[in-house]
Structures are given as structure tokens and as C-alpha cells.
Amino acid sequence: MNADYVIVGAGSAGCAMAYRLSEAGKDVLVIEHGGTDAGPFIQMPAALSYPMNMGVYDWGYKTLPEPHLGGRTLVTPRGKVIGGSSSINGMVYVRGHAGDYDHWEDSGASGWGYADVLPYFRRMEHWHESGQGGDVEWRGKDGPLHVSRGPRDNPLHTAFVKAGKQAGYQTTDDYNGQQQEGFGPMDMTVWQGRRWSAANAYLRPALERDNCNLIRAFARKVVIEDGRAVGVEVERGGKIEVIGANTEVILAASSINSPKMLMLSGIGPAKHLTDHGIDVVADRPGVGQNLQDHLEVYMQVACKQPITLFKYWTLFWKGVIGAKWLFTKKGLGASNQFESAAFIRSKAGVKYPDIQYHFLPIAVRYDGKVAAEGHGFQAHVGPMRSPSRGEVTLADSDPNTAPNIFFNYMSCDEDWEDFRTCLRHTREIFAQDAFEPYVKHEIQPGEALQTDEELDSFIREHAESAYHPCGTCRMGAADDPMSVVDPECRVIGVDGLRVADSSIFPRITNGNLNGPSIMTGEKAADHILGRGMLAPSNDAPWFHPDWETSQR
């Protein structure tokens, strides 16, 4: 069994590449360990807390004990299903800020500045404005990825944006348009009431072509002969076999599994590989390093009025909502409920937003546990650009063993300062007049916690991952020893091998990573095809004119 291009991982970037490569007439084979995404738990947007907690759809990874979070072990969900993590995520769609991509370019990822990536965001999107405003000219109109907005008919959404304005912050009609900074509506990868994953957007149409195929198998390692990738060793039906790649092997297996596969294939830090008895093909010390994520806390407030989604948190109402969705694809089941957002700067001198808010009209956790107080609402808040860096390393040389995942969260003083700032800014927003009819009391952290030490203790105990791991196969200049791939996504030191997924991000982007991951697959496809890139954009993004002297 062989193909011109063998893609490992049917996730966000892998699906996009399968679509674009097959569209160009190339013979493509996609290897995915997970199975089908059929069934209501994945396709129904409001059921998002289920798939990421189900072993059938998730790799089930956990971190090593995190010393700065009291030795807690945090879950690290990664999609093990067609669509990858786009099939189990919260469906929040954020491009990232222009400044993120310009930083990538300045870090050695030439050709990945904002002017270069904006045309790819436009190409991949089909933006549905639905009468709610937005920067239509900045958005794509006919791409495979449908992006829409929820109805925002709960009055708490209006209160959140109004409170931000009362506190002196900007509002923005479209944080994915010219101006990210400010309070406004949130975008979601939902279309006609269904999760619009990379599988729905890209993989299914690609598989309708004769030259694109998908096989279910567990990829063990890349087969390398004379310094060139020639195939992928897989386990399928209890047997180990090799799938040949006539032209290239492309890893798109996630920021956890892509570095793991490189190391199992002999590409990585030489001493680490030899310690595990793996022959070194290419000594790349950056493989598995530079691991980043977004941490967040849920700031929860009890609500005076019974208007939150808590009233639907019974078996009866869940059944009613589920049935309505099943038959009509409408109602509360058709939204992820993340319908309002904000991006703000933590202090003067910060050039572009470094704090993100997801607002939710219920007080609930990702695992589906609601606050004991009943009616409430919450803001997920956290810093966007933590200086802390972790690593993904091999536990042993067995491909079936989970890798060691260590984020080293909160390892810098700056992290603690930034998180306290997040909490205090949020308290100020919830104290505005717009929230006066709704705020009963603060559930967590709780008004009693005021000092730095008290807030630090809360953060240590309650900070959760936003599930945005990235950076472990960093893209950069070919002569940079810590780069893993060059700006064309080629693995440095091995021919015929590329990596294209969130692992190549030099630094984490502002907001959720699904959009940037799909963009990476879109742009990588043009590099692979060697047909020239889309023309850079001349559009100028908005930066606060007084950013040097003013926080808002």
C-alpha cells in the first residue's frame, strides 16, 4: 500500500492538506488511529463537554505532576477521531492577532507574517455574517470552513459587552477582522446547527475524490532510508506493516504525537534518543521542546435572576433540547453557548491584547459539573502569552506508551502577576452597572480572596488548561539549532518529511488554536505543491493608538 503523499493524522491541519493536495490531483493517503465522528455527542454543539471526556474519541493524555500547580496532574485531551481535536473542541473560532504572526516571522518563520497568512484565513473561511455585524471584507466568503455566530439572545451577553464598554474598553464587531481588541460577539465553527469540524469541512469532500483515501491504523514511526522518509510503519489489525510514500510523509498528528513520532523515528535530541536505545537519524534538540499552552480560570458569579442556562440542567430539559436538535438542528443544542468574547491588554505598554475572555451564561466546568449555587454565569479568563515553556519527551521506546507531557505551567513570576491582573480586571468588569441587575455574589474565587497570596492559592488550585498545546516542532530558520522545521514545514536534516500542525507554531497565538491549525494545513499544502503562495495582503490591522501609555 502506498501513495504519493502519506499524511499521519486526520486532524485540523491533516484534513486541510488532504483536501488541497487531492484537489491538485495528487495521490493522498491519510492515516488515522481514531474512528468515525458519527453520533450526536460530536455533531451537537451544546454537547461539547462529552466527546473530550470520552476515551473512544480522546487519546486520554495527562501531564506529569505540575510543580507550580501544587503537583496537580492535568488532562490533555487530543482528538482520536476523524477531524482530530476539531471534533472534540469547544468550536470557538479565533484567527489570532496580527502581532502573533509578525512575531513568528521575526522569530525565523519567514513568509508566515500576518500579511502572508491572512489570505489563507480568507481562503479557508465561509463566513456567515447573519445580520450581526462584522468585517465582511476581512473574511472569506466561499471556503470549506463555515464560521457562524450564536443568537446571543440571553441578556447576560448584552450585559457583558456593555460592562466592558462601561469599564472603558473598546468594543469590536469582529475580533477576527481588522480589530481584535475589545468586547463583542464570538465566532464558532458551527453550520446549520452542526459542529463544522475539519472532517466535515475538508475530509469528507476530499474522500469523494478517487485520489484520496483514509485508513484506520496506529502510526508507529516514520521509515527513513539513506536520510529520506520513504513510508510510515503502522499497526493495523494486529499486524505491523509499512505504508510507502512515493513523494513525502507529512506528520499532522498534534503537538503531542508529532514530536513523539519524530523521536521514535530517530529525529530529536541525540542523548534522549540514545538513552532509549533509538538510533539517531538527525540530532534536532528542539524536538519536543518549546511546549506552550493557555491556562485559564473560571470566574463564576451567582445570578440574581433565573435567566441562566441552569434552568435547562435537568434530564428532562436536556432530553427536550436534544430531541429538538436531533429533528430540526435548532434551539439551544445548536450553539456551543460561547457567544460573547473579549480580548484586552493587561497594562499600558502591551502592544496588543494578552488576555482573553470566553463568556458563558451558566456556571459550569468543562467536565459538565455545575456550580452548587445553581443560577450563575462565568468568564473563562487567562493570559495569552505565558513565558513558561515545557516539553514532550519519550517515556520509553515503545510506540504504544504515552509520552511524558510536562508544561511547566506558572514557572515564571510573570505568570502569577499576569493571572492576578486577569482576576482583578474581571472583578472590575463584573462590578459595572450593566451587571447590577444580575450579580448576586462571586462564587469563585469569592470576595474573601483579595491579597496576592490568596489569589495565588486559588490559581494554584483551580487553573485549568484551555487545551491549546503547541510549539513542540518549532518552525524557524534552517540554521537555528532549535528549529525542527524550516518555513516550508520541511523537517531539517531529513528529506521527504514535513510536519504541519500546531506543533510548528514558534509561539502560541492569541485565542483558540483550531483556526490557526487549519490555516497551517492550508498554507503547508501550497508549500508542498510548490506552486507559489497566495499574494500577501496589504490590509492594515488595528492597534490601540495609545497602547504605549494606556491600558484601555
Enumerate the known binding-site residues for FAD.
81, 89-92
- Rounded CA gap, 439 and 409, in Å? 32
List of residues 6+ apart from 543 with CB closer than 8 A: 99, 181, 351, 352
Are the C-beta atoms of residues 291 and 407 closer than 8 Å to each other? yes
Give the type of residue at 207.
Answer: L
Q: Which residues are 378's β-sheet partners?
A: 300, 360
- Rounded CA gap, 252 and 542, in Å? 32
- Rounded CA gap, 469 and 146, in Å? 24
Half-sphere exposure of residue 188: CA atoms within 13 angstroms, side-chain side: 30
CA trace torsion 202, 208, 209, 214 (10° rounding): 70
Active centre residues (catalytic): 468
Q: Which of 167, 204, 198, 203 is nearest to 182 (CA)?
A: 167
Helices (H), 432-509: 452-462
Q: Write out the E strands in 325-406.
A: 340-344, 355-360, 376-383, 391-393, 404-406
Helices (H), 145-234: 155-166, 198, 204-207
List of residues 6+ apart from 420 with CB closer than 8 A: 452, 455, 456, 459
Burial annotation 360-374 (CB, 10 A radius, 16+ → b, else e)? bbbbbebeeebbebe
